[in-house]
Homo-oligomer: A and B are copies of this chain.
């Protein structure tokens, strides 16, 4: 089983001394993760929240490219409707070049009503703007030489996107999916899949199967390493810590609900998904995920500290294997 990190929330406020200290703390944390054998980092991108959230994810990842060696640099997600498609294609390609081909490009259409209102873009246009930008990106990265592009919101005449990404024809594209329809769409596009940290264990297995079935139907391998399962992590040592961790989990779910749930959604939460417990309990839970076919877990950093990164890599990582894939266990520390 491979382990990545999912984060960047409130990066500027991670440190009470303010934005620049918060970024510094986060960079040190990722340098640790790189050394300790974590597979990837996926960072959020949000705008105008006023709570210190990361806004320029591709810039932060570019900095991290320079101070890390192996960790893959992902977005989760770049909201395509905010971006000029050509500038975005150039930025992602530049990051891919500068990082030696370590970009995992997670994209989304956006879901926060407030954010659309703030950008003065109707949320009703989210899907068409997403489709338009994605079509452009794929064209820009796969066309040899110059091309012309005309769609509803963006027009370009006789252009060539430079530089070329290091990963050809382009970095892996990741998309979140929840419903069977959305997961099947991701699989049919041959993109990788991000599953949220809220879904229960059985729902996660069901979603994973939906993806693998759809890939198989397209004649492609059933490759569970292409599905990243986000999970909250909190390693505890005492029952007092367990109580605090569960309270924090409840608060996080509430925040995710408030900020993130689509208006009108009333999805009930069956919360057996979080990795909260002693090392032994977490190993046990991860073995259950592994038995259900999960090969790639993305730990959310809402509750991950530098200390728990180290603990997890020493006490848990070496004891979890993925019987489903038969792949060798990644070394816990370099």
Which residues of A line the B interface, CB within 8 A? 12, 18-20, 23, 47-50, 52-53, 55-56, 58-60, 62-67, 82-84, 86-87, 90-91, 93-95, 97-98, 100, 117-120, 146, 155-164, 166
- In the complex, the answer to whether A23 meets B163 with C-beta atoms within 8 Å is yes
Complex partner residue of A63 from B55, B62, B156, CB under 8 angstroms: B62
Complex Cα gap A12–B164 (Å): 9
A50 to B94, alpha carbons, bound, how many Å?
15
User: What are the residues of chain B within 8 A of A12 when measuring CB–CB?
Assistant: 162-163
On whether A58 and B59 interact (CB within 8 A), knowing A67-B66, A156-B118, A159-B47, the answer reads: yes
CB-defined contacts of A164 to chain B, threshold 8 Å: 18-19
User: Complex Cα distance A100/B24, Å?
Assistant: 10
Pick the residue among B59, B84, B156 that contacts A62 (CB under 8 A).
B59
What are the 10 closest A-B residue pairs judged by CB atoms, nearest first?
A66-B66, A19-B163, A120-B155, A56-B94, A55-B90, A48-B159, A62-B62, A59-B94, A56-B91, A59-B62
Do residues B97 and A23 form an inter-chain contact, with CB atoms below 8 A?
yes
> What is the CA–CA distance of A62 and B119 in the complex, to the nearest angstrom?
25
Contact B120 A157 (CB under 8 A): yes
Interface contacts beyond A56-B93, A58-B59, A59-B91: sample of 8 additional A-B pairs, CB < 8 Å, sorted by A: A18-B164, A19-B162, A48-B158, A59-B62, A62-B62, A64-B66, A82-B87, A117-B158
Q: Would B98 and A50 count as touching, CB distance under 8 A?
A: no
Q: How far is it, in angstroms, between the C-alpha of A95 and the C-alpha of B20 when the chains are bound?
A: 10
Whether A157 contacts B67 by the Cβ 8 Å rule is: no
The smallest C-beta distance from A296 to any residue of chain B, in angstroms, reads 27
Asked if B23 and A98 sit within 8 Å, CB to CB, the answer is yes
Q: Which of B20, B87, B94 touches A163 (beta carbons < 8 Å)?
A: B20
Q: A66-B63, A100-B20, A155-B120 are in contact. Are A90 and B162 (CB under 8 A)?
A: no
